[in-house]
Structure 1
Amino acid sequence: MAGYDSKLCVAEAFASLVQTMPLERVTVGMVAERIGKHRKTFYYHFSDRGEVITWLFRYDLAQGLKALFDDGLLVCEPAGEGAYPTLPFYVRNMQSDGRLYNAPFFDELSRTLERRRAYYRAVLSVRGPGSLEEYLYRLYRPQIKQDIMLLIERRLADEGPLERAVEQELLSGGSNVDFLAEFFTGAFIQRMVKRLLDEPCQRSLEEVRPYENIVHDSLALLIERSVNSRRQTGGWTKGGQPGSPPFAAE
């Protein structure tokens, strides 16, 4: 991407050092020495090592996403502190039949990590506050939540105004959507991290294909089952008030 040459040079020097020694031992001085520049060059582009890690991930992923997807499908964040509005980090691919198909995005996210496998294995071995894993969770949880709201809206598009309003309130009210967003975000991130940290495993297309869009298809199924269950069990009480709770366990 144009305009990032100097910044990328610093970040790649950092990444190369991380592949040769423990992350905590890599210093700003080492990075500066690797690129033949003064320490000020590092601080011109980054405030600390944590920012290098998050920016390089965003840069790596944005390159892959821009090459694979139309601009209209790419998701970027608004400008703000700690944001990179010119680096897309997600894809929202809503198909004409209402299916949210994001399997290609998850494939590219996985490939992004694999392209610098040794580096990302080292970085993602660090857990807890300030880690890349935590950053991924904070980055993607709001997007998965927005996906859930979009799926609810599409599912109820053909309902009458009153029914749609009540169903939306039931499905999205309280902590229901937050719980689902937290659960599915944590699930796909942990799967990515586990695959990266473990030895490479072989996956045939036949094994993967039925589950390639499991996050969004599972969410759509939960929404569908919740709506149908309430209708079958009389989810409306006298007075027009909703009855059964959303996403009720069977």
Structure 2
Amino acid sequence: MADSNITKNALAVSMKKLMEKKPFSKISVGDICEDCGMNRKSFYYHFRDKYDLVNWIFYVDFIERMDWSSCRNEWDMLEALCSHFYRERLFYQNALQVEGQNSFREYFCGMLRPVLMLLTQNLVEEGRKKEFYIAFLCEGVLGELVYWLREGSKITPEEFVEDLHDISLGLARKIIAEEAGTQNVIPILQNKEV
């Protein structure tokens, strides 16, 4: 088992190094193997493809190493995630650009959905509308995350999550006001206390 982790970690280090220099689409399995001095057979013994390697990197670097007990709520979890992306921004900026089946973007959306479900649990009824709302929020958060990383992360992870919190709160208040039949939206958006 230890040898397996040594090999996986060596491949991960090479992938991260390569992704800091060039786009994901320009990196081949051969490039990764050459960089760490391994053969393709070793790579395919551990990973299905380079997408699988990128997803594994996220899982090991963030999910396994995260101190979940330090999170008081979903927003703390999101802040920890953004802090991780901030520290590794060149890698994640590149990883999140790739779309499609097995991509990190798809994998990450799958991880983000349960967090968004918790954040919105009492806003929308279960069913089709809830799924639509979660998908909408997931794409919105993902789009802003990609923009934030691409623009050089000009604000801190804490500020970024605070902005996400504020816009989410404003939208939630608007939804609740509309459900209650209130159409005066401006005071709702101005009141940011929670």
TM-score range, shorter chain: 0.7 to 0.9
CA drift at 1:50: 0.7
Pairing partner for 1:175 from 125, 128, 136: 128
Q: Where does structure 2 lack aligned partners over 5 or more consecutive residues?
A: 183-194
Pairing of 1:13-162 with structure 2 (within 5 A): 13-63=14-64, 65-66=66-67, 69-70=68-69, 93=72, 101-149=73-121, 151=122
CA drift at 1:48: 0.2
TM-score (norm. length: structure 2): 0.72
Partner of 2:165: 213
* Alignment: residue pair count: 180
- Decide which moves more: 57-66 or 218-227: 218-227
Deviations 1:174-198 (A, max 9, x none): 4232222122222211111110011
Percent identical among aligned pairs is: 23
Deviations 1:69-96 (A, max 9, x none): 318x6xxxxxxxxxxxxxxxxxxx4xxx
Question: Which residue identity does 1:200 align to in structure 2?
Answer: S
Q: Where does structure 1 lack aligned partners over 5 or more consecutive residues?
A: 74-92, 94-100, 153-170, 233-250
Q: Is the 8 A contact 2:75 2:161 kept in 1?
A: no
- Decide which moves more: 14-23 or 191-200: 14-23
Aligned mates of 1:9, 1:25 — CA distance in 2: 20
Whose helix fraction is larger, Structure 1's or Structure 2's?
2
Pairing of 1:184-199 with structure 2 (within 5 A): 184-199=137-152
Point out the structure with max Rg over C-alpha. 1
Aligned mates of 2:45, 2:157 — CA distance in 1: 46
Question: Which residue identity does 2:69 align to in structure 1?
Answer: D
